[in-house]
Amino acid sequence: MLRFLTRRLLAGLATLFVALFLMYLLVAAAIDPLKDLRESTAANKDQLIAARIELLDLDTSPVIRFFQWLGDVLQGDLGVAWKTGESVSSLIGHAIISTLQLVTAATFLSLLLGITVGIVSALRQYATFDYLIIFLSFLLYSLPSFWVAVMLKQWGAIGFNDFLRDPNLAWATIAVVGIVMGLLWSLAIGGSPRRRVQVFLIAAAATTGMLAYLQLSNWWLEPKIGPILLLVIGAAVAFAIVGVFAGLQNRRALWTALTVVAIGFVLYFPMQTVFKADAFGVDGEGTFWILVGLAVVTGVIGWVVGRLYGGPDWGVSAKVGVAVALVMGALIFVDKVMQVWPPYSKALGGRPIPTFGDRTPGLGGNYWVQVLDAFTHLILPTATLVLIAFAAYTRYSRSSMLEVMNQDYIRTARAKGLPERVVVVRHGFRNTLIPLATIVPIDVITLIGGAVITEAVFARPGMGQLFVHALDAAEQDTVMAYLLITASLAIIANIVADIIYAVIDPRIRLDA
């Protein structure tokens, strides 16, 4: 492993040096910092041009300027945006934080949805659900991102904000949505006609009941999870996780999951007091690390519960406990954020879903208000990227799963009498991830490099917008800092992809 990392890092550094050198020369040839002065009619035009040439050292060869810039970078100086006088480091710092928020949310959701739906589609090959997903994925994949973004602004923000003026759903609409969701679930689960009818009735009743609860409880204006919904959602998640990864017949894993849900329900009440502590005050300094610590403790509690139930397969119970514990912790956190929705919506004039930017200027408020504000600004751009990426990941995971399920070792596992759940989850799912291991890291870096169109539509000040504005302003230091970061991350992503590939596929040896 050490030899592999050393070899790849050295090759990466050499590649990075050559790429930056060539890009510096190309950028220097492409931009013209004197363009506005050459078109100027000022009386002291020549003096202004001479002053800018001296300021930017344009008389020096681009080759020499590159090595001067590289020397400054090695000392931690990324330069200055000469038009505004701002440090490039500060510009990059804010832009990359904004982009990382967007990329993290979009990548997680698109992977979760894309892989899950793709695998289910593969298991229902040539069924109605499979054809429906194929049509939907091709449709989303072919849509231009700017059109999706504009439609989401119109219907996801403006339309929803208008709905909040009088948030009432017609009972006919609720019934239709319940029927549609029942059909989708029955098609996804499949099975005998009797089983399909059972799934349809359960899914339709659950959807209709949930929408009726939202309607009757005035949830749209005062959204919250609360202890009762926490218990219901937690129990549903527990059964789902155990059913997929352990099987409901594994009683130790099931009791582990339900015990963790009960612990989460009990801890919900004291956590409301914890979240009111000074650490979650106006500025929220150090809050991130406090939340990370709470997440670690939450995972440890889930692991300990699984370990205490013991048994020969206590490791499965422990993993289930960790997963359920983290979901319960996330639900408690989301509930606390949702509690500040009424004052937040009121502060924005009853139109809480924004259509541009990454924060509301001059909003004020405590840590939870700031988190909610960041979340609402993430909804639309994240949904745009998720819809596009979901289509690609669905196609990747479906084709990979179909290939895996036709392998000889899958037939052997079935011939040994293993349950279909074990065949799919333990033998098929892991190998389905192998092609994605080389695709996802590169996709993430591509997004970090700048979802330029999405950021432009939503006026989000991320890396893509920074790059476009820097090129337009002929600020070479800013452009090169952007290229330095994206190129470095691309090299790291390739190394990470190789490592993930080796972890998933034991046949791959990094030290070979």
Q: Name the residue type at position 110.
A: S
Predicted local distance difference test score (pLDDT) of residue 44: 84
Domain count, the chain: 2
Q: Could you report the per-residue pLDDT of 426-481, keeping only the tens digit for each?
A: 888 878 888 787 788 877 777 776 577 888 888 888 888 888 888 888 888 899 99
Q: Are residues 208 and 173 in the same domain?
A: yes
Q: Taking residues 367-382, what's their average pLDDT? A: 90
Lowest mean pLDDT among 10-19, 99-108, 132-141: 99-108
Given 412, 436, 460, the domain boundary residue is 436
Predicted local distance difference test score (pLDDT) of residue 71: 92
Q: Are residues 6 and 120 in the same domain?
A: no
Q: Cα(323)–Cα(327) distance, rounded to whole angstroms?
A: 6
Inter-residue contact 393 to 108 (CB < 8 Å): no
Q: Are residues 418 and 484 in the same domain?
A: no
Distinct helix (H) and strand (E) counts, the chain? 22, 2
Closest among 121, 117, 324 to 241, alpha carbons compared:
324
Structural domain including 200 reads: 99-436
Segment holding 297, helix H or strand E: helix 287-309
Q: Is the per-residue pLDDT at 219 higher than 60?
A: yes
Q: Are residues 381 and 485 in the same domain?
A: no
Given 436, 455, 487, the domain boundary residue is 436
Question: Which residue has 């790291």 as its token pair?
Answer: 492
Does a structural domain hold residue 509? no
Q: Cα(348)–Cα(355) distance, rounded to whole angstroms?
A: 13
Given 382, 414, 436, the domain boundary residue is 436
Inter-residue contact 413 to 134 (CB < 8 Å): no
Tokens of 495: 């190394």
pLDDT tier, 103 (very low <50, low <70, confident <90, very high otherwise): confident
Does a structural domain hold residue 442? no
Long-range contacts of 163-166 (CB under 8 A, 24+ apart): 163/220, 164/220, 164/221, 164/345, 164/350, 164/351, 164/352, 165/350
Q: Cα(281)–Cα(367) distance, rounded to whole angstroms?
A: 6
Q: Are residues 362 and 213 in the same domain?
A: yes
Q: Is the per-residue pLDDT at 486 higher than 90?
A: no
Does a structural domain hold residue 244? yes
pLDDT tier, 23 (very low <50, low <70, confident <90, very high otherwise): very high
Q: Cα(468)–Cα(459) distance, rounded to whole angstroms?
A: 12
Does a structural domain hold residue 374? yes
Q: Taking residues 383-397, what's their average pLDDT? A: 88
Q: Are residues 451 and 432 in the same domain?
A: no
Tokens of 298: 């939450």
- Average confidence score pLDDT of the chain: 86
Torsion sign, CA atoms 435, 440, 441, 447: positive
Q: Taking residues 278-300, what's their average pLDDT? A: 77
Q: Could you report the per-residue pLDDT of 149-190, keeping only the tens digit for each?
A: 899 998 889 999 999 888 888 899 999 999 999 999 898 888
Q: Are residues 321 and 470 in the same domain?
A: no
Does a structural domain hold residue 31? yes
Q: Name the residue type at position 290.
A: I
Backbone angles phi and psi of 86, in degrees to 5: -80, 150
Q: Are residues 497 and 355 in the same domain?
A: no
Does a structural domain hold residue 441? no
pLDDT tier, 283 (very low <50, low <70, confident <90, very high otherwise): low
Tokens of 159: 């339309």
Inter-residue contact 77 to 92 (CB < 8 Å): no
Does a structural domain hold residue 115? yes
Q: Are residues 196 and 292 in the same domain?
A: yes
Q: Are residues 427 and 482 in the same domain?
A: no
Inter-residue contact 234 to 266 (CB < 8 Å): no
Q: Are residues 464 and 432 in the same domain?
A: no
Tokens of 208: 């209709």
Predicted local distance difference test score (pLDDT) of residue 338: 92
Q: Could you report the per-residue pLDDT of 297-322, keeping only the tens digit for each?
A: 999 999 999 999 877 888 889 999 99
Q: Are residues 219 and 339 in the same domain?
A: yes
> pTM of the prediction?
0.84
Does a structural domain hold residue 511? no
Q: Taking residues 9-36, what's their average pLDDT? A: 89
Predicted local distance difference test score (pLDDT) of residue 265: 95
Tokens of 470: 């820097």
Tokens of 112: 């979760």
Q: Cα(390)–Cα(68) distance, rounded to whole angstroms?
A: 44
Q: Could you report the per-residue pLDDT of 325-341, keeping only the tens digit for each?
A: 999 999 999 999 999 99
Q: Cα(275)–Cα(305) distance, rounded to whole angstroms?
A: 24
Q: Name the residue type at position 208.
A: T
Lowest mean pLDDT among 398-402, 428-432, 502-506: 502-506
Tokens of 450: 């700048």
